[in-house]
Amino acid sequence: MYDKIAYLTFDDGPTVYTNEIINILNQYQVKGTFFIIGINAKRFPDVIQRLKKEGHQIGNHSYTHDYNLIYLNATNFINELELTDKIIYNLTGQHHNLFRFPGGSSTLMATPEQITGYIKILQQRGFEYFDWNVDSGDILADNADQIVNNIEDQIKDKTIALILLHSTRLITVEALPRIIILLKTYGFQMQPLTKGSYHAHHRLSN
């Protein structure tokens, strides 16, 4: 039994980097969670099928990732959610009712009232949403060292680490083996997210 659990989550893919991320995870026998964008899934359908086949978790991260479209109104939000759900279903034969809000549930691109409404929409459709409690900072980092350091700073005091990473930069791929070793050194077991896992919500859901 491990008392420390880490969830590695990779947003915004699939991209040209996703296959290498999967290779590294497989090499270390670690399962990750991939919050994918519908339009990218259409570009890299084989990567979605590979994720499914190799036992990694897939989550829904909207269709366009365009804040101005997704958060404009409920109709758009539902449309983005359902389009991506359909793409994932067609590629994997399963619905994957895990969701991450583009920008997180604390995004300033929507009002708190809007987010509350969108959370209800998710709940009505059987989706659970996940934020994070460790931000790797990989989007703004200059190099892999910074990513590893950011994570180390934030995991020291935690027994559950839900880690935000992205599929969009080479430095994240470069940092990944070191992140896995770091987490193991600190005694974390790495697992894929599932319904009922730790959600790390940035807002209360009701």
Residues in touch with Zn ion (CB under 5 A):
11-12, 102
Nearer Cβ to Zn ion (15/197) = 15
Which of 3, 11, 131, 157 is the catalytic position? 11
C-beta of 11 vs 128, nearer to Zn ion? 11
Q: What does the angle CA 137 – CA 138 – CA 141 come to, to the nearest 5 degrees?
A: 85
CA distances from 180 to 53, 81, 92, 101 (A): 22, 31, 27, 25
Tell me the C-alpha distance between 102 and 105, whole Å.
8
Only one residue has tokens 């300033």, namely 108
- How many Cα atoms are found within 13 Å in the side-chain-facing hemisphere of 22? 21
CB of 11 to Zn ion, least distance (A): 4
Closest chain position to Zn ion (CB)? 11
Q: Is 131 a catalytic residue?
A: no
Nearer to Zn ion, 56 or 65 (CB): 65
Q: Is the dihedral of CA 39, 117, 35, 47 positive or negative?
A: negative
Indicate which residue of 56, 61, 96, 166 is catalytic: 166
Q: Which is nearer to Zn ion, 133 or 188 (CB)?
A: 133
- CA–centroid distance for 183 within its chain: 18
Closest separation in Å from C-beta 181 to Zn ion: 26
Three-state SS at 99: strand
Q: For this structure, is 11 an active site residue? A: yes
Q: Are 4 and 186 in contact (CB under 8 A)?
A: yes
Distance in Å, CB of 4 to Zn ion, minimum: 26
Minimum distance from CB of 35 to Zn ion (Å)? 7
Active centre residues (catalytic): 11, 166
